[in-house]
Amino acid sequence: MSKLYTGAEIVFKCLEDQEVEYIFGYPGGAVLPIYDELKNHSSIKHILVRHEQGAGHAAEGYARSSGKPGIVLVTSGPGATNVVTALTDAYMDSIPLVCISGQVPTHLIGTDAFQECDTTGITRPCTKHNWLVKDIKDLSKVMHEAFKVATTGRPGPVLIDIPKDIQFAKTNYTKFKKEKKLNGKTHNKFSQNEIDQLIDLISKAKKPVVYTGGGVINSGPQASETLKEFVRLIGFPITSTLQGLGAFPGDDNQFIGMLGMHGTYEANNAMHDCDLLINIGARFDDRITGKIDEFSPKSKKVHIDIDPSSINKIIKVDLAIVGDVNEVIKSAIKKINKKQNGLKNSNKQRISKWWEQISKWRTKDSLGFVNSDKEIKPQYAVKRLYELTKNQDTFITTEVGQHQMWAAQHYKFNKPNRWMTSGGLGTMGYGLPAAVGVQIAHPDKLVIDIAGEASVLMTIQEMSTAVQYNLPIKIFILNNQYMGMVRQWQELLHEKNYSESYSEALPDFVKLAEAYGCKGIKADNPNELDEKIKEMIDFKGPVIFDCHVDPNENCFPMIPSGKPHNQMILGPNDKEEVKITGKGKSLV
């Protein structure tokens, strides 16, 4: 008879078979058998966080920067409920997470036992799938299926709830064989006919635009290379969503900037006026489309996505290609090279007028701002941070709010997996723990969390984690003493009634840094900014950088609520500023 293993041992055997290196977690009563087993598995390192939400976000940061699934281990009850925000965040942004939660013993389920909650019930709507393992014989099968579900198709979080008695129970373990065949829930069966239609549209378009999203990043680094080749081949302008930044080089001339609510003038106008819109791995989010009825009214629309339910969900498209982004574009490139070699030149001629128009829009310099020599402007701070870090491979995470938009606008990404931000759910407090996870995956790289003072306080406890594992993350706080985006909306829409958006009683971030045992730096003068940023980069250890910026700065350009793409509000440099009036006020 073969050796019998306990449930806890099987958990680790599965993790080893899946080549897991790091677990982000927090112990508790119902997962103690698993924690007890940890010491016997040297290839797996556990990172102790300070709050389960932090574990989830750290795992997200790890997953997004490495392309591997992030693993979370939490206890029952509060452990599981605390991780719900991170699971929902991962679900919205399609990040592969495998969360293992402890549960009270099976005979106590349903009795309101200590630290019991209906974990699978609570997490059902925020995971791709979840399992409550009630029989030890199912455990290994469930574990491996969980990895498959999390990482195939459109990635996402999964959760495995393991009662404590199952962790103790014993059974056989059969070694896992990696299947080559994808499961039935992934879709990669596009036809050549669809590719032909795509190429036909490409060869006829006069005003085309390529709109890419996080799907390109999720398709793997190879997809970004393929995208580059594809876009250079067809010569079209390309814009990207918040999540897609880095898939195409941000400083390339064909890149016309981010689109959407705080996107560039040229990108949004191109979206509005184009006659061909090629959506690659994006999902027509409401922050992108603006007013649906007037979204890109004159264009033929193509949507390439691995998730069939994304197609026609919000915007009806003329051609849908369901498949892996990399595979689809690769096959389009192949076809073009084989059959339509002249396409490159003919395209160039046909769309030259369109490029002229885009150049005109570019002269608006919609990301411009009025700089000051007395106060640090937040945009200036991000720009300087970019200039001083662009010579090395830098990873940026953010929290949520104005600083996030400024980071997206002014920091240029040239490679995928370098930009981690909470886009779908918009989770304040995401950036710091995410930076922890990124630094774990890339110990020798520079990892910066561009933060706001309000957001960062939501998960500031994870500084302890950074100090414990000696993770030299840099927390670059654009401190404007306001929940900036809330304040901006209140200024523009609620008659400057700044209800509860002032960050009262802020801590002294330098002293806070010192209390955690890391370095604190404060800057409030533009003249000293460069020097202090360099000091931050050169310091070998975690740093909290308290950058005091102009509290009244607003994030422009902006598509006001209820308006289409071609009616943006530009910054203070623009004279014909559109005022938000009437109906638009009711929307964001």
Partner 1 sequence: MPAPKSAYNIPTKIGKFDTHIFVVWVDNEAGVLARVVGLFSGRGYNIESLAVAEVDATKNISRITIVTTGTPQVIDQIKLQLKKLVPVHKVADFKREDKKVIFKEMALLKIVAQKKKIEKCLKECKKFNPVILDKTNKSVVVQITALRREIDKMSKKLKPFGLTSTSRTGAIAMTRGAEIFK
Question: Which residues of the chain form contacts with partner 1 (CB under 8 A)?
Answer: 120-121, 124-125, 128-129, 132, 134, 149, 185, 286, 289-293, 307-309, 311-313, 316, 493-494, 561-562, 582-583, 585-588
Q: Identify whether the C-beta of residue 347 lies closer than 8 Å to the C-beta of residue 520.
A: no
Contacts (Cβ under 8 Å, ≥6 apart) of 506: 453, 479, 481
DSSP 323: S
How many CA atoms lie within 13 Å of 461's alpha carbon, on the beta-carbon side?
Answer: 10
By beta-carbon proximity to partner 1, the closer residue of 312 and 527 is: 312
Residue 528 bears catalytic tag? no
Q: Identify whether the C-beta of residue 281 lies closer than 8 Å to the C-beta of residue 219.
A: yes
Contacts (Cβ under 8 Å, ≥6 apart) of 391: none
Nearest-approach distance from CB 358 to partner 1, in angstroms: 26
Give the span between the Cα atoms of 561 and 494, in whole angstroms. Answer: 13
Residue 379 bears catalytic tag? no
Residue 157, strand partner residues: 97
Give the span between the Cα atoms of 563 and 290, in whole angstroms. Answer: 6
Task: Please state whether beta strands 170-171 and 5-6 pair in parallel, antiparallel, or not at all (unpaired).
Answer: antiparallel
By beta-carbon proximity to partner 1, the closer residue of 221 and 308 is: 308
Q: Identify whether the C-beta of residue 257 lies closer than 8 Å to the C-beta of residue 239.
A: yes
Residue 164 bears catalytic tag? yes
Residue 243 bears catalytic tag? no
Nearest-approach distance from CB 160 to partner 1, in angstroms: 13
Question: Which one is catalytic: 258, 271, 405, 485?
Answer: 485
Residue 475, strand partner residues: 449, 544
Give the span between the Cα atoms of 260 and 556, in whole angstroms. Answer: 11
Nearest-approach distance from CB 6 to partner 1, in angstroms: 23
554-581 b/e with 16+ CB inside 10 Å = b?
bbbbbbbbbbbbbbbbbbeebeeeeebe
Q: How many CB atoms lie within 10 A of CB 501?
A: 19
Residue 563 bears catalytic tag? no
Strand, helix or coil for residue 53: helix
Question: Which one is catalytic: 13, 164, 474, 532?
Answer: 164
Q: Identify whether the C-beta of residue 429 lies closer than 8 Å to the C-beta of residue 456.
A: yes
Question: What residue has token string 């920067």?
Answer: 65
Choose among 416, 237, 197: nearest CA to 328. Answer: 197
Question: Which one is catalytic: 114, 170, 206, 313?
Answer: 114
The residues annotated with a catalytic role in the active site are 52, 114-115, 164, 485
